[in-house]
A and B are shown apart, each in its own frame.
Chain A
Amino acid sequence: DIVLTQSPATLSLSPGERATLSCRASHSVSNYLAWYQQKPGQAPRLLIYDASNRATGIPARFSGSGSGTDFTLTISSLEPEDFAVYYCQQRSSWPPITFGQGTRLEIK
């Protein structure tokens, strides 16, 4: 199984700052990586797919990059509603589809 390791576990930033979240795969996943956002009490929401494509309705401040084993989700300028948990997911080698353990983005 491909293991996805996200870092940091928790990121404390202020609104307006830039957020950089990392996801590292145990084996190459090419560009078959997605990012999801989950707010408390809500289902996850797809943000980025195929490593760098924004899903429908996702603001331009969210961007994804990377390929192979190292990926980054960047939020250029944090809005209050962006504080949430973020998960990466791969579908390069499945089953199983695997998720990272999540990064909690909290207000500093």
Chain B
Amino acid sequence: EVQLLESGGGLVQPGGSLRLSCAASGFTFNTYAMNWVRQVPGKGLEWVSGISSGGTTYYTDSVKGRFTISRDNSKNTLYLLMNTLGAEDTATYYCARGRTPNVRMDWFDPWGQGILVTVSS
């Protein structure tokens, strides 16, 4: 069974940093693109960042230069390092796998259960 389990969320002060992790199991991790998608409570979905199976990274403009996506294929884990956090980054962060292997950017299937990040003083 494919599983994605996020961790590392919580309360952080404005200007602070946080690293999210997504532990993957049940599939050949190094062959799939992976993504982070966030959702402000009660609002819609926003794609944040993606990384191809080969390690090429992509970001939405609002996080470029502040967030870094990475993957450790030996640990089957996806990361999102978030720096210079602001109130606008408060959201539930989901990791999501690409639907098929070896596709640079694919549909998101499945998703993890999400982890809440709250930026507040």
Contacts and interface: CB of A to CB of B under 8 A. Distances in A.
The answer to whether A and B belong to the same complex is: yes
Given A91-B105, A91-B106, A97-B105, A44 B99 contact: no
Question: SS class of chain A's interface: helix, strand, loop or mixed?
Answer: loop
Contact of A46 (B58, B61, B107, B114): B107
Contact of A91 (B45, B107, B113): B107
Contacts of A95: 47, 50, 58-60
Interface in B24-63: 35, 37, 44-47, 50, 58-61
Given A43-B111, A43-B114, A46-B108, A99 B46 contact: yes
A97 B47 contact: yes
A87 B99 contact: no
Interface residues of B, number: 23
A59 interface: no
Report which residue of A43, A44, A55 has the largest number of chain B beta carbons within 10 angstroms of its beta carbon: A43
Given A44-B94, A46-B99, A91-B106, A98 B111 contact: no
A25 interface: no
Interface string B104-120: 01111111111000000
A34 interface: yes
Contact of B60 (A87, A96, A101): A96
A44 B44 CA distance: 11
A72 to B, nearest CB: 18
A97 B53 CA distance: 17
Report which residue of A34, A44, A89, A101 has the largest number of chain B beta carbons within 10 angstroms of its beta carbon: A44
Interface of A: 34, 36, 38, 42-46, 49, 55, 87, 89, 91, 94-102
Interface pairs A-B: 4 shortest CB-CB: A43-B111, A46-B109, A97-B47, A99-B45
